[in-house]
Structure formats: C-alpha cells, structure tokens
Amino acid sequence: MTAPFELSDDSVVVIIGTGAGGGVLANELAQKGVSVVALEAGGRHEPQDFINDEWDSFGQLAWLDPRTTSGDWRVAKDFSGLPAWIVKSVGGTTQHWAGASLRFQDHEWKARTSYGDVEGASLLDWPINAAEMDPWYTMAEDKLGVTRTGDRPGLPGNNNYKVFEAGAKALGYKDVHTGRMAINSDENRDRSMCQQTGFCFQGCKWGAKWSAGYVDIPQGEATGNLEVRSQSHVARILHNDTGKVTGVEYFDKDGNLQMQKARIVCVAGNSFESPRLLLNSASSMFPNGLANSSDQVGRNYMRHMTGSVYAVFDKPVKMWRGTTMAGIIQDESRHDPSRGFVGGYELETLALGLPFMAAFLDPGAWGREFTTALDHYENMAGMWIVGEDMPQATNRVTLNSDVKDQHGLPVANVHFSDHANDIAMRNHAYQQGQAVYEAVGATRTFPTPPYPSTHNLGTNRMSERPEDGVVNKWGQTHDIENLFVSDGSQFTTGAAENPTLTIVALAIRQADHIASEMSAGSL
C-alpha cells in the first residue's frame, strides 16, 4: 500500500519527523488525498518490538545522537549529553509518552495578557484562542481515544493512584481523577484495552496507548498517498532564488545523501531538531538560517516546570503495577498569583522501575541517605509535577559547531536556566506534593529534580507579528510561505498541560489549512 514517490517529484509535501505533529499531519494530509513523503530519522518499532525493560528500551527507542547542554539547569550537570528523553522512531515520542491528554485552559492561550509583564520572560499571547481550538481539540480527543472525553470512561486507579487520591482528598483537593488519557479504557474500540502492564514509557506492547507510529502512520499508508522513509535524517532544507523551499537533502538508511523535491516542507523534528535543521539550512540568501529574519529560531526554549515527588510508606505500594501516569490533581493548575508565581501546575502520578529510580531519584547521590530510599522501593509512591515555565529569549537551541553528529552536522546545544517564576512554582509544587503523601502517612518524602526533558517546546514560536516569532497562526513560517513548522516548537507558551494533545490538535488544523490552500492554488 505504500506509495513510492520519485525523488524528483516536486508535487509532494515533505514532512520531516513522524511524531505527534508530523505523524498526524502526514496521515491527515494523506486522508485528504495529498501526496506526502515523510522522512523519519528513526526506524520502525511495532508494539511487538517494544521491551518491558527500562534500559533495554531506552537503548532501543531513545534519541541518543549527540547533543550538548549549558545553563544552570541540573540536567546540564547530571546528564550533560542528554538534555531530553525523547524518541528516535517512526511515531517519535508518541511511542514513549504517558498518554496524558489535557486541553490548555482558556487563559493560557493569552499568557502575556493573563500574567502581565513578567520580568525576564518573553511572554506573548498565542495568535489563536480557546474557542478557535475547541473543535480541533475534540477531533484530537476522538483520534487519540482520550478517556473522560466523548463517551469514553476513565481508567481504573492503580495502587499508586489510590495513595495519591487518598492524600489529595485528605488535603482537600477536589479535582482528582485517573486522568484524561490516550489509553483505551474499554473493550469496544479499535485498540486493545489497557492491561495495567506498566511500562507505558517503554512503548505499549498491547497498543492500548495511542501512538502516531502504529496508529496514524499505517492509516496514512493505507490511503496510498503516504510514503514513510525511515532511518532518513534530513540535513538541509533547500530553496530557490525566489526564497521558496524546493526540497530537502537527507541521509538515507545507508548514509547516502539524497535529495527529495517538494512543493511544501513541514518541519516536525521536535524543539531541538527543528530549529537545528533551520539553522543548519543557512544559505547566502538566509545567512542566519531559514525562516529566521526575526532571530527567534531556537529561542524561547521551554521544557515545562517539572520535578517529581516520591514518598516512602511503612507498607507496600508497588507503584510500578499498572498505568504509569493515570492520576491527576488539577486544583493547582489555575492562575493564582497569591501563591507567589504566575501560571499553574498539574500533579500526575508517575512510577519508575528500580533501574530508572536509581538513576533519577537524586542523580549523583550516593551513600545511605540515598540507598535507604531505594531499600523501600516496594513501599514507594510517586508523582510528577508539570507546570507552565516562562519563555526566556536566552533559553535557546543553537548550533554547536565543535561537536558533529554521525553525518558530520553540527549538533544542537541546549541552553536553559530556570526563571525565578519556575523556581517559585517548583518549590510550591514540592511542598504540596510532599503534603499529599504526608497526609496518608508517608514516613519520608523526596523532592526529586527534573529529568531530561520530554516536553520540549517553543523554539520556533507562533506569533501574530513576524518580528516576535517564527510561524504564524497556521504554523506557516512568516518568512517562507511554503515552509511550515508542525511540532511543539510552534508553542508560543507552554501552559501547564502535557503538550501532546495540543500538538495533535494543531496538526489536524494545519492539515486542513494546507489542503485547502493547496486546492485553492495558493500554496
């Protein structure tokens, strides 16, 4: 069913990356009859290929090409070559994601207006709003099969959730449930029902969790309009002397450089690779990189304000059993500056296996303070904190020409330092998270530092005015009309919610826009 397109076919839309943005966009365009070539740096991994083993799975799926880090974030010290825990595979990080599918709150679409002028932050309002996004969110929820939306029931709570819920209620939190998850909660759907296996981060072997890799990509391929070339790493986007893009150069699976022509190019390589590619595509006409007349490519990198809280109890919890993240407290997600910061955060259940707990509980720590925590691994409960972080122009992805990847291309350096608002919010969240567990008898709690980032956002941000950002409200670059950005790097601000649902909703909306502009002959 795969549609082979010629390298010289300049009628195709080339999509770079097949994750939540690119994978969905590829399917949606293919469904509308548009010819698509999707180039994906990673290989194909189907549910049966996934591994219920944290490090083995990490070796199978994680993006391990070199990257460098700088800034005062602790990740730069503890995991200097691994700023992100994201995936190199057809389906991208939707293979790994936990499945939490939350809509932005209305005020988060206009962060600059809602929060005012926050010193040191480069806040903007999005050029789109909640009402405009509502139907696209509904389509995204239906596509992903999000629980607690439509007629889909919630997932049952596992042990980790029960501890979390009991603590939350004891503390007086009201908005507490097993989450809105892109994990099938009943028998009567296209995908299998969740079998409470755990290992959601390692790829769902049941296919109960939505992934672009084994849901959208095969659907798109079945139309005959989508060709996915895996293990194809795009090196450069090409343009003509009128400044329109004309195709891409990529290294194929054998390491040979190929050139694919294109009518439209959509970049969806995530918030590191997308700006890196635009910067690596610099030319005499665009010496600062493509679509970078604003100098905003790579800037305003956001990673969410994150952290975790683990707690030890005097009795077993066995938190690793069951869905990794089906539990949420939403009461703190509101904007309420009386807490000492703008924006809000979500608390979500999270479990790590013993191997990753050893690596991430307190990276670099050793001795009995550390090991006595692990001694009680069976009695541990855990939650993850995810909140809105402030965009800062100086937090940015740049090219590091001193370090080259396997293709000889300069790698991305990821520079990040927390904003004072991020720190105040994290401290508040640590306190609340620890209180949740103490309310149900925790004997010890651990305010655990952020892991390598999974939510990477903002490095090609959407803006009303061309001088403030890289793309317009359709994800179309301000500078080049047939060049689009289709991943989380479009995010103007990060909001408090896990970003995948919004990336998917934007991709569905973008597909609709591109297809109609193509029919109208304006693209």
Partner 1 sequence: MSDMNGPKGLTRRQLLSRASAAGASFVVGAGFVAAPNGAWAMETAVLKPQTMATLVQMARDIYPHDQVGDEFYVIAVKGYDTDAAAGGIEEGVAKLNAAAKAAGHDSYLAAGWERDRVDILRGMEDDPFFQQIRGGLVTGLYNQKAVWPIFGYEGASYEFGGYIERGFNDINWL
Residues that bind partner 1 (CB under 8 A): 52-55, 156-159, 162-163, 166, 194-199, 205-206, 315-318, 320-322, 353-355, 357-359, 364, 366-368, 370-371, 374-375, 377-378, 440
> Residue 63 or 79: which CB sits closer to partner 1?
79
DSSP-assigned beta bridge partners for residue 453: 84
If the CB atoms of residues 108 and 165 are measured against partner 1, the closer one turns out to be: 165
Rounded least distance, CB 313 to partner 1, Å: 8
Q: Lay out the sheet containing 345-349: strands in order across.
A: 176-177, 328-329, 345-349, 380-387, 305-312, 444-448
For the chain, the first-to-last Cα distance in angstroms comes to: 27
Burial of 499 (0-12, 13-18, 19+ CB in 10 A): buried
Tokens of 213: 């890799």
| Pairing verdict, β 264-267 and 483-485 | parallel
CB of 444 to partner 1, least distance (A): 16
* Cβ burial, residue 170 (10 Å; 0-12/13-18/19+): middle
Give the DSSP letter of residue 337: G
How far apart (Å, rounded) are the C-alpha atoms in residues 446 and 306? 14
Nearer to partner 1, 195 or 283 (CB): 195
DSSP codes joined into one string, 441-470? T-SEEEEEPPPSBS--B-TT-B-SSGGG-S
User: Least CB distance from residue 178 to partner 1, whole Å?
Assistant: 11
Residue 48: both structure tokens together? 């049966």
Nearest to partner 1 of 209, 509 (CB atom):
209
Nearer to partner 1, 158 or 476 (CB): 158
CB atoms within 10 A of CB 438: 16
CB of 49 to partner 1, least distance (A): 12
Q: How far is the CB of 322 from partner 1 (least distance, A)?
A: 4
Q: 287 or 366, CB closer to partner 1?
A: 366
d(CA 142, CA 151): 10
- Could you tell me if 92 and 270 are in contact, meaning their C-beta atoms sit under 8 angstroms apart? yes
Q: Give the count of alpha carbons within 13 A of 237, CB side only.
A: 34
Q: What are phi and psi of 301, to 5 degrees?
A: -65, 125
- The residue (of 173 and 272) whose beta carbon lies closer to partner 1 is 173
Residue 159 CB, nearest distance to partner 1 (Å)? 4
CB of 370 or CB of 517, closer to partner 1: 370
Provide, rounded to whole angstroms, the least separation between the CB of residue 332 and partner 1.
22
User: Shortest approach of partner 1 to residue 366 CB, angstroms?
Assistant: 5
Distance of alpha carbon 493 from alpha carbon 489, whole angstroms? 10
Establish how many alpha carbons lie within 13 A of residue 463's alpha carbon, considering only the half-sphere containing its beta carbon.
21
Nearer to partner 1 by Cβ, of 320 and 384: the residue is 320
**Which tokens belong to 353?**
């296996």
Pick the closer one to partner 1 by CB: 174 or 366. 366
**Closest residue by Cα to residue 378 from 447, 321, 440:** 321
Quote the least distance from Cβ 379 to partner 1, whole Å. Answer: 8
* Range list of H helices, 214-300: 217-222, 270-280
Cβ closest to partner 1, residue 189 vs residue 321: 321
What phi and psi values does residue 437 have, to the nearest 5 degrees? -75, -35
* 3 state SS of 399: strand
Least distance in Å: CB of 418 to partner 1?
Answer: 24
- 347 and 310 Cβ atoms separated by less than 8 Å: no
Q: How far is the CB of 135 from partner 1 (least distance, A)?
A: 35
